[in-house]
Amino acid sequence: MSIPTETRAQMLIKALPYIQKYHGKILVIKYGGNAMLSDELKHAVMGDLTLLAQIGVRVVLVHGGGPEITELMEKTGKKPVFADGLRVTDKETADIVQMALAGKVNKDLVNRIHCCGGKAIGLCGIDGHMILAKPRDEKLGFVGEITDVNPQPILDVLTAGYIPVVSTVGCDEDGNVYNINADTAAEHIAGALGAQSLIMMTDTVGILREPDDLASLVSELTVSQAIQFIREGVITGGMIPKTYCCVNAIRRGVERVFIIDGRTPHAILIEVLTDEGIGTMFR
């Protein structure tokens, strides 16, 4: 369907205040879920990031890649084991995590950004000892709890005019490699960068007052309201740790945090550059 020229002009005018708001500011995107599994959605997301970077937004992409880790483990004959929803990571699995995330997934995303006309450089938490970690729980092996984030490598890449693409592999001072939860890494990185906003791409439309009613979407939440929703059982299951990541990012100084549905094409642009938005905003 062809959009009339006047309508296009009005769309651009309406986006102008948001472009001005984010110009020169840091926007961290946590990328995961089904948006990483579809080539069509991957292309849409990388195109969104390229557009934002080219209008002056300092975009940082943080990604995980659970399915790719599992796929590589199976190819090497290693069976994935989970405890409390987290991947048990022995030394061999930590090596596989590093290969899958810092290698295959990271470089694929960098390549896709360049194919969209953007400029990107891939990083992982080991580079410059960006993400320092310690064991989260002995039974989980090399699953890391973040102890410190050094944002300088990311800032250097931004200053050079590139989009930093960060895979969530961490390390400690002894050189051990850790598998880091991508939501948690994004929260810490956004805080360390003093980001204007953090966008968490998920497989849900946002926070719902009624689990099966999309019309009950909560468009805006304060930190105290979010905690209350958890206590009241409005937020349950896997949305609880995601909500805590959003809350913690606000507490670390991020101005706004969004949960958006990564299954929606161009969800990032809709959230950042329009009045309506599509997800839940924490403030």
Indicate which residue of 32, 122, 242, 262 is catalytic: 242
Cα→Cα distances 268→17, 43, 45, 95, Å: 16, 13, 7, 32
Rounded Cα gap, residues 68 and 3, in angstroms: 39
| 91: annotated active-site residue | no
DSSP string computed for 148-168? EE--HHHHHHHHTT-EEEEE-
Check residue 52 and report its DSSP letter: H
Place of tokens 């896997």: 238
The residues, ordered by sequence, that sit 6+ positions from 5 with a Cβ below 8 Å of its Cβ are none
Contact residues for 43 (Cβ-Cβ < 8 A; gap 6+): 112, 116
CB atoms within 10 A of CB 6: 8
Q: Given 21, 42, 66, 128, which residue is catalytic?
A: 66
134 noted as active-site residue: no
Distances (CA, A) of 48 to 35, 59, 158, 186, 267: 13, 10, 17, 18, 9
SS3 (DSSP) at 20: helix
Say which of 33, 47, 144, 170 is annotated catalytic.
Answer: 33
Name the active-site residue from 32, 64, 144, 183.
183
Helix (H, G, I), strand (E, B) or coil at 108: helix
Q: Assess whether 183 carries a catalytic annotation.
A: yes
Is 262 assigned a catalytic role? no
Q: Known catalytic residue: 139?
A: no
For residue 55 the two structure tokens come to 């209008």
Q: Which residues are annotated as catalytic? A: 30, 33, 66, 183, 242
